[in-house]
Amino acid sequence: MNILNIQLPKNHFHTLLSFTQNEDNKVYSNWHGSTTYENACGIYTLTPEDNSIFKGSKEQVINYVGKFIEHFNIDVLQVSDPNKAYLHTYFKDRVKYIGPPEDVARLETDKLFSKWMADSVGVKTPGIIKQGRYSDDDYGTNLSFPCIEKPSHTWSPAVNLFNEEDAQTAIQKVQFGAHPQTGNKDEEYFIEEYIDDMIETNVFFVIANGEYRITHTQEIIGENLNKTIEQKVWYIDSFIKPLKQEVDKIVRKKAHPYLERIAKMGGSYEGSFCGAYTSKGEWY
């Protein structure tokens, strides 16, 4: 069996390694930064020239993947980059496809869409206290702290604004083109209320054949301190621990309508999402 993997940085090694354990399989993958680990594990990496195509236009990527599938007789196409989810539309009927369809990928790349999806099935989400564009004259003003700023439709991190000083820093960064991440001041954003009395939860799941299974839950500590206007990589100084049994049961129950809804949207993939569990037993 021949597999083409289109990954985010160092992503999906567990499935790739599983594929390579069968000597009859050939696993091909794009790469980020270095190919040392992949090659040591028996994964064939693309040439630098071919790898750069995935930074190109949608049309270039579709054309390249189509030719690659034909030339290398690819049986399985695995796509973990949500910005490449359009490949599902073009190749889902041509090969075995592992990855989310375009609408599902929007749950990762479009925070306002994801919020709407949760609201539509009765899952609580924090209230929106302001919306606009980064270029608006009133950007960063008339806020209550702490609060959370999120890009509405662009795949970039949320930013916790803990005080007026953070808001002023954000305003200055916008003026100098350092915020938002894309540098596009015409992007839309929204400000959510900050759920203070809570623990942050992660729910990991697998979806296939219109059904879901939760594979793991956990509490993550410290990630919120990295998502500030002075951005750090989310995992620096953060750590995880198991949820208490009673909290785990509540989180799984509350996550059910959301997972049930997105499972019906199709695709075969694994994913995760964050939530906030409060001392009052509420889950957002």
Q: What is the pLDDT of residues 155-195, one digit of tens each?
A: 999 999 999 999 999 999 999 999 999 999 999 999 999 99
pTM for the predicted model, two decimal places: 0.92
With a cut of 90, say whether residue 114 has pLDDT above it: yes
User: Looking at residue 206, what is its pLDDT?
Assistant: 97
* Average pLDDT over every residue of 91-95: 97
> Which range in 31-35, 58-62, 220-224 is most confidently predicted, on average pLDDT?
58-62
Say which residue the tokens 């579709």 belong to.
62
Distance CA 255, CA 237 (A): 27
Q: Tell me the CB-side half-sphere exposure of residue 277, using CA atoms within 13 A.
A: 23
10 pLDDT above the threshold of 80? no
Choice between 34 and 70, residue whose per-residue pLDDT is larger = 70
**pLDDT above 90: residue 221:** yes
Per-residue pLDDT tens for 127-166? 999 999 999 999 999 999 999 999 999 999 999 999 999 9
Q: Would you say 185 and 201 are in contact if contact means Cβ atoms under 8 Å apart?
A: no
Q: Check pLDDT > 90 for residue 233.
A: no
